[in-house]
Chain A
């Protein structure tokens, strides 16, 4: 990555993190070096069969069929929100759900 591209990337991340960096060139280089180092995990080859089994398990777990959420019309108040005498929202559907 060129120095200017590194600085651009730093500026974006600085903005997201709401943080100012004094020596932008140095920090951009360090940030790039760290991301380059940790980037190796994207191609990390894990030869151990135990690890592959564990990985397969997590994939299988994540692929389990998700039961559709059954919407219970009973607990939804069509007139929500209603307010009490003080103007505070009365969460009627919550009360019904709890009872």
Chain B
């Protein structure tokens, strides 16, 4: 059985479980499923963690109070002191993080154990984890399918129970998409509510670290540890989060034109979303308001200008001089070129797109225009969310697809992010909840988009519909 943070917490507090036994249970799952799924890039030394868990148990026995020692996985673009930090790239092969990211420091103080670093698309560029420079992670629910991306390792680990929860980073849907494909929960927090210090930057105005879990309660538990202003991240701030109290009457914003809005969705997603609307119709005190959500789909081309532009700037530091691998050459210029050539094709493509969009003569037409549209989208999103408590749409337009199906077609791959990128551009929080239709063994995600600061409120709201959501145990 896979533990959740809450169930493990209750069992430990009742004296029915020790931190060591919890960790051993998690290792049993790792031993059973990791070889097939290949979700981790590296694992912390087991003896070190078992010793730490034993210390917590001893402390609990003596004083009645000690950290629980919840084992969690961390995406390998977040710095954990002493562990590898590759960002899925050959450029940072063998690089060891010299310090803890702020959120890691907070979780360490709260007694969380970092079981390992989870696989990802190189620099978090991708929607399938096929672009990792190390190996392809497989979806534990169906090993022929991708786990989503870029936090696919984190999604797979939580799905098969190889950690109680995981942290991922979400620049355009990178935690919600794997949550949707792997049948778990994930929340992209409001931009600025979680420190990015210690996260390898992709798109600085878009990136946000968020939790991936097996329950809604676990999301709230982790969020409370993650949230907060950090002096090391000037974009972070202390938020006044909206009340977790569920309103007497819930109003959900839904698309007014299902056919137009859901174009390109596969059968499972269409049916699952329609089933959700039917389910909502059976609940008293929940009503829907139809909104013209077409502009949400405009976000994709805007995103694929702004994100590569920021990425090309952020990744200019990986030049072979300051970080990671250096290819030897007599000429400095060749050192740059050859060291940067170690990056994979998708990383190169995005850097080239970003460089083009920022180059003289094209900047205003591409980046400048995308920035204006982004502002418009932000205003539009605020207006839509004034009419409801949350907008509810599918997380992804398809269920998990087969490995290799989209790898060589960048546009098809980018379209996986159609419903996720808008909130990264606008900074709003978004929650993905898992659902299984009767038509497929693969899950889909239902996504709740909320106003800035509604991170906890979204979790409370989703609990109203919890009968519709399901996390299944991986058994084979």
Q: Which residues of B contact A (CB under 8 A)?
A: 292, 294-295, 298, 301-302, 304-305, 312, 316, 319, 333, 336-338, 340-341, 343, 345, 348-349, 351-353, 355-357, 359, 365-366, 369-370, 372-373, 375-380, 383-384, 410-411, 414
Q: Which of A19, A35, A39, A51 has the most CB of B within 10 A?
A: A19
- Which residue of B298, B384, B414 contacts A44 across the interface (Cβ within 8 Å)? B298
Residue of A nearest to B415 (CB): A37
Would you call B348 and A38 a contact (CB within 8 A)? no
Would you call A30 and B410 a contact (CB within 8 A)? yes
Would you call B349 and A13 a contact (CB within 8 A)? no
Q: How far is the CB of B183 from chain A (nearest CB, A)?
A: 30
- Chain A contacts of B370 at CB under 8 A? 38, 41
Known: A18-B333, A37-B301, A40-B301. 19 other contacts (CB 8 A): A18-B336, A18-B337, A19-B343, A20-B341, A26-B345, A27-B349, A34-B414, A35-B353, A38-B353, A38-B357, A44-B373, A46-B298, A48-B295, A50-B383, A51-B295, A51-B380, A54-B375, A54-B380, A58-B376
Chain A: interface size category: 35 or more
Q: From DSSP, what is the main secondary structure of chain A's interface residues?
A: helix
- In the complex, A77 Cα to B7 Cα: how many Å? 70
- In the complex, A27 Cα to B344 Cα: how many Å? 11
Once A13-B355, A31-B352, A48-B292 are accepted as A-B contacts, the answer to whether A37 and B378 lie under 8 Å apart by CB is no
Would you call B345 and A17 a contact (CB within 8 A)? no
- In the complex, A63 Cα to B82 Cα: how many Å? 51
In the A-B complex, the 3 residue pairs with the smallest Cβ-Cβ separation, listed nearest first, are A54-B379, A20-B341, A17-B355
- Which residue of B301, B337, B369 contacts A20 across the interface (Cβ within 8 Å)? B337
Would you call B304 and A34 a contact (CB within 8 A)? yes
Q: How far is the CB of B126 from chain A (nearest CB, A)?
A: 14
- In the complex, A10 Cα to B349 Cα: how many Å? 10
A-B contact pairs, 26 of them (CB 8 A): A12-B359, A14-B352, A17-B312, A17-B351, A20-B338, A21-B348, A21-B352, A27-B345, A30-B349, A31-B349, A31-B356, A34-B304, A34-B353, A34-B410, A35-B356, A37-B301, A38-B353, A41-B370, A42-B365, A44-B298, A46-B295, A46-B373, A50-B380, A50-B384, A52-B376, A54-B376
Residue of B nearest to A45 (CB): B298
- In the complex, A26 Cα to B346 Cα: how many Å? 12
The reply to whether the CB of A88 lies closer than 8 angstroms to some CB of chain B is no
- In the complex, A57 Cα to B376 Cα: how many Å? 9
- In the complex, A19 Cα to B315 Cα: how many Å? 11
Would you call A44 and B301 a contact (CB within 8 A)? yes
Q: Which of B302, B365, B383 has the most CB of A within 10 A?
A: B383
Q: How far is the CB of A81 from chain B (nearest CB, A)?
A: 31
- In the complex, A2 Cα to B337 Cα: how many Å? 26
- In the complex, A17 Cα to B355 Cα: how many Å? 6
Q: Which of A40, A47, A50 has the most CB of B within 10 A?
A: A50
